């Protein structure tokens, strides 16, 4: 596999997950994250984690073959200009549990180890060109095309997803909240603009 292909596969893999295992100074903790509009992971952590120097996110978990993402954490002010990122996380995952006072963070991706390749983290930080239209697109699907979404989930997961909710869309696919987790629906072709979203979802539902 050449470097360009490895980078594209790594980017697609990272976007396809919303859970991982965070190692901070040899301590491992399960972590739920979302990818923000500018392409950086966002997640709540404890104050102790925020102070650690060596932080690695294993995706989807700490097992052999997992993606290893070396990250630098920056504190995110929920009441500041980027506070909407915390709302985005809650839309995906609900309220953070197990933390008395969660520290919200944005993760800068420094480097990634994936499938035997070491990749510059900046190559995986890509803005979502559908971000400005994302709330409207999700609302439109959830209010008017829920049966289409359910059929797309059925084809992707091979079982009926009860009460699916579209919570995110980017050029590579759809994020759908189920009862206990978030599933990924990879798009069969890149969605270059908002007009592609309904066409691609319908294609996936009828496939």
User: Which pLDDT tens digit goes with each residue over 2-38?
Assistant: 889 999 999 999 999 999 999 998 789 999 999 999 9
Confidence of residue 126 (pLDDT cuts 50, 70, 90): very high
Cα 135 to Cα 126: distance, rounded to the nearest angstrom: 19
* Distance (Å) of CA 108 to CA 34, 39, 55: 13, 9, 11
What architecture is the 131-206 domain classified under in CATH? Alpha-Beta Barrel (3.20)
pLDDT value, residue 53: 83
- Could you say which of 3.40.50.720, 2.30.110.10, 2.60.40.10, 3.40.50.970 is the CATH number of the domain covering 3-124? 2.30.110.10
Q: 73: which strand partners?
A: 107
Q: 148: which strand partners?
A: none
Confidence of residue 156 (pLDDT cuts 50, 70, 90): confident
Confidence of residue 1 (pLDDT cuts 50, 70, 90): low
pTM score of the predicted model: 0.94
14 prior amide bond cis, ω within 30: no
């Amino acid at each position: 596999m050449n470097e360009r292909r490895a980078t594209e596969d790594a980017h697609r893999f990272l976007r396809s997950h919303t859970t991982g295992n965070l190692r901070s100074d040899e301590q491992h903790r399960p972590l739920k994250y979302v990818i923000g509009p500018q392409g950086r992971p966002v997640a709540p952590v404890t104050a102790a984690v925020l102070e650690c120097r060596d932080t690695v996110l294993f995706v989807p978990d700490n097992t052999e073959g997992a993606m290893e993402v070396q990250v630098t954490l920056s504190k995110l002010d929920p009441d500041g200009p980027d506070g909407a990122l915390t709302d985005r996380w809650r839309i995906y995952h609900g309220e953070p549990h197990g933390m008395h006072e969660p520290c919200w963070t944005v993760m800068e991706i420094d480097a990634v180890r994936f499938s035997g390749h070491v990749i510059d983290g900046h190559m995986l930080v890509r803005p979502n060109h559908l971000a400005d239209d994302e709330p409207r697109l999700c609302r439109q699907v959830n209010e008017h095309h829920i049966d289409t979404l359910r059929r797309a989930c059925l084809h992707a997961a091979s079982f009926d997803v009860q009460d699916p909710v579209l919570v995110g869309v980017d050029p590579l696919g759809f994020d759908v909240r189920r009862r206990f987790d978030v599933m990924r629906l990879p798009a069969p072709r890149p969605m270059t603009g908002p007009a592609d979203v309904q066409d691609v979802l319908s294609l996936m539902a009828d496939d």
